[in-house]
Amino acid sequence: MCFVMTSSIKKNSLNLSGYKEIRIKISYLNLAAKCWGNPEGMPLLGFHGWLDNAATFDHLAPLLEEFLLVSLDLPGHGFSDHRPPGSSYHFIDMIVDALEVLNCLDWDRFSLIGHSMGAGIASYLAGTVPDKIDSVILIDGLGSITQKAETSPETLFEASREWMKLSDKKLPVYPDFETAVKVRHSVGSISESSVKTLVARGIKPVVGGFSWNSDPRLKSKSRYYFTEEQSLAFLQRIKAPVLLIDAESRKKDFWKESYRKRIPYIKNFHHSIINGDHHLHLDNPETVAAVIREFVNKYIKNEF
């Protein structure tokens, strides 16, 4: 059982077009999302990065008006529900969440866009239901962090120790919005305007000021990781054209070096490296939009 509820159109931060707030009820969670674009456009489901939220596409979406872009707040992020008490956050569970969302949206065919962790979700979703995907757009990410099988016992032990200490942790409280922005801005290379976009959807009023919406359990160490062989099994099943947009400034990053080794396993792969850092789609949306539009016009044949 699922349903989709929409609210009135609002103006986004660029004042180029409006968006709708959406609530999507899946089997055990209410998920929030933002929706932009042409109702008759190409369906595009969006996934944000770890501890970000649906506003990750606020600067990019108004520049892609040929799409109907639905950007999710993944479970435990933004305005979406947290997982039930006693539950933990497994990366692969978000693939199932996404499939439930797509069932609610009643999209027969669609494209995917994801940033960072969201790029991993899009990668594996495209390998899970390859016959339904028209295109895959990945921003600074491909697949997920993997580990060797023999490290699994140690990973589980460390994750369990963190889990048992979780109740001792307290969320930080900031006296005002500006302080929260300053704290977030100090972590990673991202423009202040982009930080404000994410923080506006990522905090809530509490006694004494503001704190994060995100579930503290998201910061717990994962109990399980795919092996590299498992990751490649998903990537090899992708049939749709795949566009990876990389940030130039991070070309020597260890994580990027590891995921670039996966590129040969994707059949219909296209690569673009542009100026920017990890949140290049927020900091440099015009260039990212131009690259996406060129890719779509050249490789996507479906008519809408």
Give catalytic residues, as residue numbers. Answer: 116
Q: Could you give the CA distance from residue 246 to residue 20 in angstroms, rounded to a whole number?
A: 29
Q: Among 12, 275, 240, 279, which Cα is nearest to 131's?
A: 240
Q: For residue 186, give every residue at least 6 positions away whose Cβ sits within 8 Å of its Cβ, in sequence order, or none.
A: none
Q: Among 252, 290, 255, which Cα is nearest to 272's?
A: 290
Q: Which DSSP symbol is given to 174?
A: B
Looking up tokens 């995100």 gives 214
Q: Could you give the CA distance from residue 126 to residue 111 in angstroms, rounded to a whole number?
A: 9
Take residue 208 and report the two structure tokens written for it. 């004494």
C-alpha gyration radius of the chain: 19
